[in-house]
Structure 1
Amino acid sequence: MYIKKTLLSCCLLGAFSSLAADNLTNSDPLTPYQWHLNNTGQNSFTTDTVAGEDLHLLNTDMQGIQGDGVTVTIIDSGIELSHPDLVNNVTAGSLNLLTGTATPTDNTGHGTAVAGIIAAQANNNIGGRGVAPQANIVGFNYLDAQSTSHWLQSHGMPLTGSANARVYNQSYSSKPALFTNVDAEHALSLQLKERVMQQVSLNSNNGLGALFVKSAGNAFYQYTTFIGDTQFQVFPYEQQQQFNNAGLPFHNANLSADNASFWNMLVSAYNANGKLASYSSVGANVFLTAPGGENAQSQAGIVTTDISGCNAGFNTIDSTTDTPLQNTGLDSHCDATAAMYGTSAAAANTSGAIALVMSANPQLDGRTIKHILASTARKLDANNTGVDINFTDNYGDATRYNAIPGWQQNAAGYNFHTFYGLGAIDVDAAVTMAQNTTSSLPALHISNWHSKNTPLSIPDANVNGVQDSLAITDNLTIEAVQLKLSIDHARMRDLAIELISPVGTRSVLLSPRTGLINAADTPVQNALLLSQHFYGESAAGQWKIRLIDTDNGTSQTLLYSEQTGLLSMNDTNNSVDGTLLSWSLRFYGH
């Protein structure tokens, strides 16, 4: 009897999938082109896509789960709240941080595009639809008014107004050229933000809390940063080639201190072929990956809302990337775009997915929803073997180092990859698990910092590096691990930083060849990094840190600005070995 029921269930599920596909793709004129919702291998205005590489939400949609009752706050460039595909999902709480009015005008189209990915209305015969087309949206134009007070207003403090949001979408990222000293006096605003996110994450919404979703960044190959008042393009130089970084991320997502916060759910981006998007920043702090698309001039972007009319936003009368969309005649008013892409889009897809899971079981708190997403994530690009780099060591021998491991399964059974975190979001699997979950995770426990302050020499160009250990007695099931360390090294870009758990799980928290620009004779103090690699493992036992110098001086970091021209940094090898000055671990878990 059990077998017959199982077979019947499978058959019904298949039938529902077919019906859901028809319902979803016929929802609105542009929905058939929204491969991130339902990838059938269709042509999405550019190249063909790979069937199945999407959010896996068809059965959820068939059940009528569309984000009802969940509010998503969009912290961005603003939102065109009157957009015909958004207006019916707008709820009270939006704020223009420049004027104090309730209309956070969007001057670029970015925030409007993000809002459409999350919650554009379905079945209204306009444009496409959102991941959670019945979710509520609130908007802030924080990117136009970046102050600490405006950050607090847009991120839920005090616990009134926008704090009724269950999801906070942050489709933006910083790209510092140096680590931040998180314990320095000038980092007080960072420490304040940590406390606020903790308060909102755990205590808002009558104790159900909220989730902060954040883009990992778009800096795999290069990034821009300010040094003083001058903006520089920063990029690698390897094997006498510009932009060659030996296949490694040039700007590791862990370089940004806010990306190393436990409270930010960091998201990388994949494209319509089910591979890491060409631009996506990555790191051990990536929690999940979601559709981000590619530049629509070469591969499929994300179809979403745009500023209304043909004179502003992405889709204008002069647009080249949206010409194929204009040629369809399906968007004669230029209210949509097919040119959105980036980890901004991946964060928006994640926020919409979270809204669906939350609406499937409104009684679950934010941490439990996060746990469900981790437990149901699928292994994307399963054959990706990571990245090895070759270098000549200090003995003159050719040496290889596994700088980005391939997919690894940790001791708790969770798969992890530096490119994709714990995997790609699978909405249907997450919704099913949420519907069958009757209790939340145990209360969160945050350990004290466990520290080691014995200086250790880091041998130059040596694959064995230097290793130290720390005994941990905290009896916790890990939700994340933070590492704080101080290092004196003249060429930080040479270094790989690994953390190894008591059961042998190896996490590369900082991959080598990262585009750090060292300040002369200034050690890195209290740099913060985070790893999601140990999710579900036990904290108790002997932890090891390993630092490996992987270069004898053949790689460089280049900077360019119109004012200065091309400059070279880190172009000679360090004359003395570096030093690990101190390191500390902190555990989040239950």
Structure 2
Amino acid sequence: MRQLSGKRTILSVATLLALSAGAAQAQQGDPLYRYQWHLMNYGQAVIGDTRPVSGVDIGIDDLHDYNIRGKGVVVGVLDQGAEIAHPDLAANVVPNGSWNFNNNSHDPTPSASQGGNAHGTAVTGIIGAVGWNGIGVRGVAPSARLKSFNFLDAGGTTAQIRYAWWDGPESKDVAVSNNSWGDTTPLFLTNVSENELAAWENPMSATRGGLGTVYVKAAGNGFNSVSTYCPASSGRVGCSQSVFVEESNYFNVITVAAVNATGKRSSYSTPGASLWVSGLGGEYGWERATLATQATAAQLATQPAVRFDPAIMTTDLSGCARGYNTNRVAPVQFWSDFDLNRLESNQSAIDNTCNYAATMNGTSAASPTVTGVVALLLQVNPKLSFRDVKYILATTARKVDPTQAAVTDANGTVLSAGWTTNAAGRPYSNWYGYGLVDATAAVTRATGFKSLGALVDSGWQRVDLETPQAIGNASAPARASVNLAAGAGRIEAVQIGLASDYPVGNTLPLKSTPLVVTLVSPSGTRAIVVPAGSVPVGATMTFDLAAVNAFLDESGTGNWTVEVADTSLAAGTDAKGKLSSFKIRVLGH
């Protein structure tokens, strides 16, 4: 029985029959499919010491059997290069459709000197590994057409992102762009002008004949990644935040968090106000029985329990000499040198090719699960705009971890919200966005979906305070308001910026901030943009761009207020800084 809240929507008989042409083909199966709990999870034993909780999957159900497999949808993978000749990928790779930024060729496969660069191959397999070919694994969209752009192997420049997103000839027919990359250290946005933002968002929207490529982006793995600088409170709210990374705040981007096999936040998953939905990233996929033959009990005891919970099984660089799954070579120096589970090495009784790995995780793994679902949507309805896709994913997502509660301090001040429901009845969490994607529900909604219609964009509206407001404690926060006289009737996205002279810190050692930044909608919904305890980097609490996605379907017309409170400030003590300006942009229909 499925144990997640929310009912699974089932496609109508007529729809299934219409989409099932050719589904009765001879199917050889995929031998490792049973380990891919993210696709179909009935609580079976998988790689890892714990079993997944039944029902924690992306809801493929019978879609593949009815030929809903992403057929004809071109997916671009901006990452390390994928091994395009991999036996479980080659049949889905677009001939001469990929790009190698290092040698200007159409083969982005990592070179022999890049033997550890298996990330792109793993991500690509999660999206579109070939199904029913008698070997290995299956992708979320096992008939999608795949292109690889190896910018992480070639410096990761802005020009390369633009090339893969819209500018390069190989990107022109890409319908979905997967971006499993980002910053693991905390950042704070300080230099993104409105013109610079438009220079990204406008060409992104113009792709796919004006429908817009669907850009899927990993939120990051920064919940604990800067633990050296994080006090105990940060362990409750997350050191880094998704709003600290510029691209995660673009209107065109679907920012994805990671859920593990228990249906809760993966231990590393970066939270934040710019999250849209969650995919499945799992944990680490280690197994004690395998490691016990190589490591001491004392060594194993140093590892956290999440190391032994299931990760994601996917494609790896071929052979046992490179990639994640290799034969051990002495001397063993790091944990990655061990055989971490039963799948690893050519001695594996499960699969001895070393062509697959069961340790892939991160929001890097969660994002391609969402990308694959998008490919399924675009197969059944290729006329969906990127805005339609975002809306469908959000309104069909499942509410996981429904008891997630707000984090408060000793005074009862909310540092970070749990699940909240906005004035339009949409539940939202800064850990999960609108919830875990549900492929069957989303495909059902996509079939015959009526477009959201013309975009209503308020443009940037700004207030500069004649008298900057002192940033007091939770009882006396600094406030600034902007009134939108004719905003969107139904909100799709909100972006804000603000300026203050409150010192944050941009030199080592970094410090967590005691500030809570909250945005209040005209309907009274409160959304925390920056939680106290996170670790922003900057001279002052000033930023030009943060997406605040909690207001879907509310009205955008009326008074929008930002509040900035200092949770460290005792009553009656002097403020440490002042709020001087606030700006907002509301988009919708």
If the TM-score is normalised by the length of the shorter chain, which range does it land in?
0.7 to 0.9
Give the match for residue 43 of structure 2: 41
Code of the aligned partner of 2:42: T
Structure 2 distance, partners of 1:330, 1:529, is: 46
1:146-545 alignment, distance < 5 Å? 146-157=156-167, 160-175=169-184, 177-183=186-192, 191=196, 194-200=198-204, 202-223=205-226, 234-238=228-232, 245=234, 247-297=236-286, 298-318=308-328, 319-320=337-338, 322-326=340-344, 329-390=349-410, 399-437=411-449, 439-454=450-465, 455-476=467-488, 477-491=490-504, 493-519=513-539, 523-545=540-562
Structure 2 distance, partners of 1:372, 1:461, is: 39
Give the Å deviation of 1:234. 4.4
Give the Å deviation of 1:589. 1.2
Code of the aligned partner of 2:502: H
User: Does 2:106 align with 1:95?
Assistant: no
Structure 2 distance, partners of 1:321, 1:463, is: 54
Secondary structure at the aligned position of 2:412 is classed as strand
Gaps of 5+ in 1: 1-8, 224-232, 239-243, 391-398, 554-573
The percent of aligned pairs where both chains have the same amino acid is 34
Residues 11 and 440, structure 2, Cα contact 8 Å, conserved in 1: no
Q: 1:24 to 1:576 in 2, by over 3 A?
A: farther
Give the match for residue 135 of structure 1: 144
Give the Å deviation of 1:525. 4.1
Give the Å deviation of 1:389. 2.3
TM-score normalised over the length of structure 2: 0.84
The partner residue of 1:551 within 558, 565, 568 is 568
Residues 167 and 351, structure 1, Cα contact 8 Å, conserved in 2: yes
Structure 2 distance, partners of 1:540, 1:265, is: 24
Code of the aligned partner of 1:348: P
Secondary structure at the aligned position of 1:348 is classed as helix
Give the Å deviation of 1:179. 2.1
Structure 2 distance, partners of 1:547, 1:512, is: 10
Secondary structure at the aligned position of 2:391 is classed as helix
Structure 2 distance, partners of 1:450, 1:131, is: 41
TM-score normalised over the length of structure 1: 0.84
Give the Å deviation of 1:176. 5.4
User: Does 2:579 align with 1:577?
Assistant: no
Secondary structure at the aligned position of 2:357 is classed as strand
Residues 237 and 407, structure 2, Cα contact 8 Å, conserved in 1: yes
Structure 1 distance, partners of 2:105, 2:425, is: 49
Structure 2 distance, partners of 1:372, 1:351, is: 13
1:240-280 CA distance string (max 9 Å, x none) = xxxx6251111111111222211211000000000000000
Code of the aligned partner of 2:45: N
User: Does 2:126 align with 1:117?
Assistant: yes
1:97-143 CA distance string (max 9 Å, x none) = 01101111233100000000000001112111100000011001111
Give the Å deviation of 1:456. 3.4
Structure 1 distance, partners of 2:402, 2:453, is: 32
1:439-480 CA distance string (max 9 Å, x none) = 322122322211111143344544442223221112302111
1:288-341 CA distance string (max 9 Å, x none) = 001001011211000000000011110011253543114652321100000000
Structure 2 distance, partners of 1:40, 1:177, is: 37
The answer to which of 463-472 and 537-546 deviates more is: 463-472
Code of the aligned partner of 2:229: F
Give the Å deviation of 1:63. 1.7
Residues 31 and 137, structure 2, Cα contact 8 Å, conserved in 1: yes
Give the match for residue 3 of structure 1: none
1:39-73 CA distance string (max 9 Å, x none) = 11112111111000000011322321000010110
Secondary structure at the aligned position of 2:382 is classed as coil
Structure 2 distance, partners of 1:151, 1:324, is: 37
Structure 1 distance, partners of 2:27, 2:564, is: 50
The partner residue of 1:105 within 92, 109, 119 is 109
Structure 2 distance, partners of 1:488, 1:302, is: 44
Give the Å deviation of 1:78. 0.6
Give the Å deviation of 1:177. 4.2
Residues 262 and 480, structure 1, Cα contact 8 Å, conserved in 2: yes
Residues 169 and 351, structure 1, Cα contact 8 Å, conserved in 2: yes
Structure 2 distance, partners of 1:110, 1:575, is: 50
Code of the aligned partner of 1:245: S
Q: 1:37 to 1:93 in 2, by over 3 A?
A: same
Residues 503 and 541, structure 2, Cα contact 8 Å, conserved in 1: no
1:409-453 CA distance string (max 9 Å, x none) = 21222111111101110110111111132x322122322211111
Q: Which has the higher strand share?
A: 1
Q: 1:489 to 1:365 in 2, by over 3 A?
A: same
Structure 2 distance, partners of 1:589, 1:139, is: 32
Structure 2 distance, partners of 1:321, 1:277, is: 23
Residues 483 and 528, structure 1, Cα contact 8 Å, conserved in 2: yes
Structure 2 distance, partners of 1:471, 1:449, is: 12
Code of the aligned partner of 2:517: I
Give the Å deviation of 1:183. 4.5
Residues 241 and 271, structure 2, Cα contact 8 Å, conserved in 1: yes
Code of the aligned partner of 1:147: T
Structure 1 distance, partners of 2:391, 2:446, is: 10
Give the aligned CA root-mean-square deviation in angstroms. 2.7
Length, aligned pairs only? 524
Code of the aligned partner of 1:444: L
Gaps of 5+ in 2: 1-9, 287-307, 329-336, 505-511
